[in-house]
């Protein structure tokens, strides 16, 4: 992945970090560096490995391979309690047998800081997190938000070089979360400590971070500033995960020209491949009179959202989401135009437009004229014209529409959804099954990370031309 | 208002087997043979003061040994795999599936001059053992009998200590020993308190074990004697009353420790 940041004052660096649990790879060779005083957020859906990275840095987990260096020196052999790092835990992990003061003072007391120095430090920190006067309170008598502040104070008072925050605001209600986001950002500025923040909330990441690291199933998808990530997503997954977006299948024949929804749009990107994904943010679609638009759309629905109208518009078989201050009535035809710099072209996550499969003949043609072929430990009987001998290899193509999700009883295969992206009229899914990745188009709304069963429709296995004998 | 009817059987039970017997203990402790109120019975305490002292000494020592043996075991157990934890639980409970008297008689046989322990020691050339019919044998008997009651409450509390609290301790700079002292021990204190209570109380009022293995009477045996042999309900009542009082006071003191966070017991 590209790294636009300069790495002169690197505090911590992850090199080819790999970790698996029960033979399931959680981190797949992660490379990342964090600069001193930076606010870096690891963002991704649950199970993407972001918390595991934190735990490897804190020393709670040992990576299977790779290295964690702190100011250039490996810290893998340094036990947790000797690392200059503190953690704010997801569920706070405050000591229930100690009151607020003693919780915050815990780290300093372990370090044998004189009691006379501890008191002012703790009091200052409690004032900083707005908990003056709460010193003697037992932990159980605090609200969630207050416990959260104690947890932050308890970690920050040690003035670590790096503060790890594991979804620290996850358990708080929306209003409190917004307040705490601002406070954390302020604490970061005041303390001059490097923050590594883990969240699955994209808005939180965009609001707080200097740098966002977007992750999916153990790999880094993109590293960049919030603006970069939002405006120049690296692929459809990032575009879909960050903010609302229209992601379309598009074609390019030359640089700076893209064909989508049956019309040619000008854009500013060069052509990475003939088939690409194009992202258009809902607020970047300009509503015009029908005759002035690049394409004409039919307004299906319109919702007033306060600042803008959210309109669902159908156009060339695709559905567009538009945020516009200009309203159009349902049923009306409108023109739509997009400024070239607001169309973002991305390489497709799946390198091909079809699934390519090489199968082995396991039984020659029978009386009904069916040949048995198998791949991935599953056999199919196919009406093939030519004669084949056992062990012959045949190449097939399976189009994404011909793979369907189904119940376990009717399934040919099972797998895990690696990514699910709405493409205007269908969900584009990438599915991991054994060592194979499948591209699927589906109308079903499934979560990435869920385990699914799927089968091939009748006639899905199509001979690739030139392979037929 | 919730119906209190479901409580009735329990209230009847408590009245019949707790309140009335307790009332009788009080009544006999503070009356003489003619049913007159008297403080005369307090003299039995003086007479038996040595027995009281011995009882509490034996109980204290047994509880201490139980705690020293049980705490590390509970700690190790709480860190085992769930499967191993279940296995250990069964192993610890296993001796309790055998009858109490049977266990004591077995120990008696083992400790006897002709018993297996002596034979083993003779084989090693260490001569006869001096345990039989001594307070040491009694302490061993009590520890053997009540150890599970110390291990299980401590283990139960320890197993519930959240992994993240341990990690928080490490994160804030605790090495292994500091972690034990500053995090694990304070958090396991409720288990320790209930373990101590569950061992000390029955140990202080134990009988049979002392008579059988030690050949002497502890307060439990003395009280039993007052109700069985030359029956003296008043002496028995007074001794029971005082024993109860001491135990209630010790439990109250223990529970006070539980609330006070900074006090370390061992």
By CA distance, what is A108's nearest residue in B? B172
Q: Is A106 exposed, middle or buried (0-12, 13-18, 19+ CB in 10 A)?
A: buried
Q: How far apart are CA B141 and CA B144, in angstroms?
A: 5
Chain A residue numbers with beta carbons less than 8 Å from the beta carbon of B170 are 59-60, 79-81
Domain ranges of chain A: 10-231, 244-347, 355-463
Assess A112–B contact: CB distance below 8 Å, yes or no.
no
Q: Report pLDDT for A1.
A: 41
Tell me the CA distances in angstroms from B76 to A418, B184, B264, one per residue in order.
Answer: 40, 12, 21
B-facing residues of A in 146-165 (CB < 8 A) are 154-155, 158
CB proximity A58 to B under 8 Å:
yes
Parallel, antiparallel, or unpaired: how do β-strands A39-43 and A211-216 relate? parallel
Asked if A95 has any chain B CB less than 8 Å from its own CB, the reply is yes
Instruction: Give CA–CA dist B111/B209, Å, rounded.
Output: 13
Question: In this predicted model, what pLDDT tens digit does every residue of A364-383 receive, in sequence order?
Answer: 888 888 899 999 989 999 88
B262: confidence class by pLDDT, cuts 50, 70, 90: very low
Alpha-carbon span B158 to A150, nearest angstrom: 24
Alpha-carbon gap, residue A380 to B236, rounded angstroms? 89
CA A88 to chain B, closest CA, distance in angstroms equals: 9
Minimal CA–CA distance to B183: which of A109, A52, A112? Answer: A109
CA distance B171 to chain A (A): 5
Looking at residue A457, what DSSP letter applies? Answer: P
Task: Report yes or no: B162 and B85 within 8 Å, Cβ to Cβ.
Answer: no
CATH superfamily of A244-347: Nucleic acid-binding proteins (2.40.50.140)
The pTM (predicted TM-score) of the whole model is 0.80
Separation of alpha carbons A210 and A243, rounded Å: 17
Q: Residue A105: closest CA among chain B residues belongs to which residue?
A: B172
Please list, in sequence order, all residues whose beta carbon lies within 8 angstroms of the beta carbon of residue A381, skipping any fewer than 6 positions away: A366, A370, A371, A372
In this prediction, residue A110 carries a pLDDT of 95
Closest partner CB to A86 (pick from B162, B172, B189)? B172
Quickly list DSSP for A239-285. HHHSS--EEEEEEEEETTEEEETTEEEE-SS--S-SEEEEEE-GGGE
Q: How far apart are the C-alpha atoms of B249 and B197, rounded to whole Å?
A: 11
Taking an 8 Å cut-off on Cβ atoms, the answer to whether B167 and A81 are in contact is no
How far, in Å, CA of A218 to CA of A50, rounded? 8
Looking at chain A, the whole-number percentage of residues with pLDDT higher than 70 is: 97
- ipTM of predicted complex: 0.77
DSSP state of A92: B
For residue A156, which of A240, A204, A86, A64 has the smallest C-alpha distance? A86
Helix (H, G, I), strand (E, B) or coil at A134: coil
Who wins on pLDDT, B153 or B256?
A: B153
CA B54/CA B62 separation, integer angstroms? 12
Domain ranges of chain B: 49-259
CA neighbor of A189 nearest in space, from A230, A130, A128, A148: A128
Which residues in chain A are closer than 8 Å to B189, comparing Cβ atoms? 97
Per-residue pLDDT tens over the stretch A204-254 = 999 999 999 999 989 999 999 999 999 889 999 999 888 888 999 999 988
Q: Is A232 helix (H, G, I), strand (E, B) or coil?
A: coil
Whole-angstrom Cα Rg for chain A: 27
Q: How many CB atoms lie within 10 A of CB A386?
A: 12
Whole-number pLDDT of residue B258: 64
Q: Is A416 on the interface with B (CB under 8 A)?
A: no
The answer, yes or no, to whether residue A255 has pLDDT greater than 50, is yes
Give the pLDDT confidence of A3-47 residue by residue, as tens digits: 445 556 899 999 999 999 988 889 999 999 999 999 999 999 888
Q: Which residues pair with B244 in a beta bridge?
A: none
The alpha carbon of residue A97 is apart from the nearest alpha carbon of chain B, in Å, by: 7
pLDDT at B146: 93
Tell me the pLDDT tens digit for each residue of A82-123. 999 999 998 899 999 999 999 999 999 999 999 999 999 999
Looking at residue A225, its pLDDT comes to 95
Q: Reduced to 3 states, what is the DSSP secondary structure of residue B165?
A: helix
* Cβ–Cβ below 8 Å for B164 and A95: no
CATH superfamily of A355-463: Nucleic acid-binding proteins (2.40.50.140)
- Asked whether residue A352 carries a pLDDT value surpassing 70, the answer given is yes
Domain A10-231 fold: Rossmann fold (3.40.50)
Is the CB of A80 inside 8 Å of chain B's CB atoms?
yes
The answer to whether the CB atoms of B164 and A93 lie below 8 A apart is yes
First to last CA, chain B: 47
* Contact (CB, 8 A) for A165 and A197: yes
Provide the Cα torsion A25, A31, A37, A38; round to 10°: -80
Domains A244-347 and A355-463 share a fold: yes
Write the pLDDT tens digit of every residue in A280-303: 999 999 999 998 999 999 999 999
CB A156 within 8 A of CB A163: yes
Question: What values do phi and psi take at A205, rounded to 5?
Answer: -65, -45
B52, pLDDT greater than 70: yes
Closest chain B residue to the Cα of A159, Cα to Cα: B172
Contact check, Cβ <8 Å, B187/A96: yes
CA distances from B179 to B137, B164, B183, B190, B192 (A): 36, 13, 5, 17, 17
Q: Is A60 on the interface with B (CB under 8 A)?
A: yes
- Tens-place pLDDT, residues A120-148: 999 999 998 889 999 999 999 999 889 99
CATH code of the domain made up of B49-259: 1.10.3720.10
Signed CA dihedral, B48, B49, B53, B59: sign only: positive
Q: What percent of chain B is modeled with pLDDT above 90?
A: 47
Strand-pairing partners, residue A92, are: A89
Task: Please give, rounded to a whole number of angstroms, the shortest distance from the CA of B248 to a CA of chain A.
Answer: 25
- CB proximity B182 to A under 8 Å: yes
């Amino acid at each position: 992945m590209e790294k636009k940041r300069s790495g002169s004052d690197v505090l911590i660096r992850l090199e080819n970090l790999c970790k698996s649990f029960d033979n399931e790879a959680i981190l797949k060779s992660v490379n990342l560096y964090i600069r001193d005083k930076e606010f870096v957020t690891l963002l991704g859906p649950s199970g993407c490995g972001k918390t595991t990275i934190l735990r490897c840095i804190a020393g709670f987990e040992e990576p299977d391979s790779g290295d964690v260096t702190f100011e250039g020196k490996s810290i893998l052999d340094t036990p947790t309690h000797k690392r200059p790092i503190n953690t704010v835990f997801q569920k706070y992990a405050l000591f229930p047998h100690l009151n607020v003061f003693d919780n915050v003072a815990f780290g300093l007391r372990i370090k044998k800081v004189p009691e006379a120095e501890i008191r002012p430090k703790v009091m200052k920190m409690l004032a900083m997190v707005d908990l003056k006067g709460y010193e003697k309170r037992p932990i159980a008598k605090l609200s969630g938000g207050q416990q959260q502040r104690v947890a932050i104070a308890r970690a920050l008072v040690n003035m670590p070089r790096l503060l790890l925050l594991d979804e620290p605001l996850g358990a708080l209600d929306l209003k409190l979360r917004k307040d705490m986001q601002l406070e954390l950002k302020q604490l970061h500025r005041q303390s001059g400590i490097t923050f590594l923040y883990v969240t699955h909330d994209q808005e939180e990441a965009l609001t707080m971070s200097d740098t966002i690291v977007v992750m999916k199933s153990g790999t880094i998808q993109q590293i960049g500033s919030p603006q970069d990530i939002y405006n120049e997503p690296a692929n459809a997954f990032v575009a879909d995960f960050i903010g609302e977006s229209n992601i379309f299948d598009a074609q390019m024949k030359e640089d700076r020209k893209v064909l989508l929804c049956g019309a040619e749009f000008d854009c500013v990107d060069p052509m990475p491949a003939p088939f690409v994904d194009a992202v258009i943010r809902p607020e970047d679609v300009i509503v015009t009179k029908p005759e002035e638009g690049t394409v004409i759309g039919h307004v299906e629905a319109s919702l007033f959202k306060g600042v803008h109208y959210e309109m669902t518009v159908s156009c060339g078989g695709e559905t567009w989401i538009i945020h516009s201050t200009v309203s159009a009535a349902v049923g009306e035809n409108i023109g739509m135009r997009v400024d070239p710099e607001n169309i973002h072209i991305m390489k497709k996550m799946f390198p091909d437009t079809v699934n390519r499969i090489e199968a082995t003949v396991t039984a020659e043609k029978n009386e009904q004229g069916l040949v048995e072929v198998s791949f991935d430990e599953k056999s199919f009987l196919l009406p093939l014209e030519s004669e084949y001998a056992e062990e012959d290899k045949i190449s097939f193509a399976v189009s994404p529409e011909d793979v369907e999700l189904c119940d376990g009883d009717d399934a040919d295969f099972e797998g895990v959804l690696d990514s699910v992206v709405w493409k205007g009229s269908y969900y584009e899914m990438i599915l991991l099954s054994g060592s194979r990745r499948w591209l699927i188009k589906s109308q079903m709304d499934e979560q990435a990370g869920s385990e699914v069963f799927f089968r091939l429709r009748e006639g899905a296995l199509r001979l690739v031309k030139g392979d037929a004998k | 208002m919730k119906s209190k009817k479901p409580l009735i059987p329990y209230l009847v039970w408590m009245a019949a087997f707790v309140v009335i017997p307790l009332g009788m203990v009080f009544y006999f402790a503070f009356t003489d043979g003619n049913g007159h109120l008297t403080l005369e019975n307090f003299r039995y305490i003086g007479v038996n003061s040595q027995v009281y002292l011995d009882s509490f000494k034996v109980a204290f020592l047994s509880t201490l040994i139980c705690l020293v043996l049980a705490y590390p075991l509970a700690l190790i157990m709480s860190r085992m795999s769930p499967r191993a934890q279940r296995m250990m639980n069964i192993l610890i409970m296993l001796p309790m599936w055998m009858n109490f008297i049977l266990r004591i008689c077995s120990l008696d046989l083992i400790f006897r001059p002709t018993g297996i322990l002596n034979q083993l020691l003779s084989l090693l050339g260490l001569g006869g053992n001096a345990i039989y019919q001594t307070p040491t044998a009694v302490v061993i008997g009590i520890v053997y009998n009540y150890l599970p009651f110390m291990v299980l409450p401590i283990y139960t509390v320890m197993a519930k200590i959240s992994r993240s609290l341990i990690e928080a301790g490490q994160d804030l700079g605790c090495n292994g020993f500091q972690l034990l002292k500053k995090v694990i021990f304070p958090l396991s204190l409720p288990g320790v308190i209930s373990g101590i209570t569950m061992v000390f109380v029955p140990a202080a009022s134990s009988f049979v074990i002392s008579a059988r293995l030690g050949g002497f009477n502890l307060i439990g045996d003395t009280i039993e004697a007052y109700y069985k042999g030359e029956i003296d309900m008043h002496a028995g009542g007074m001794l029971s009353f005082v024993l109860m009082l001491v135990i209630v006071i010790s439990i109250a003191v223990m529970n006070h420790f539980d609330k006070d966070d900074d006090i370390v017991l061992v």
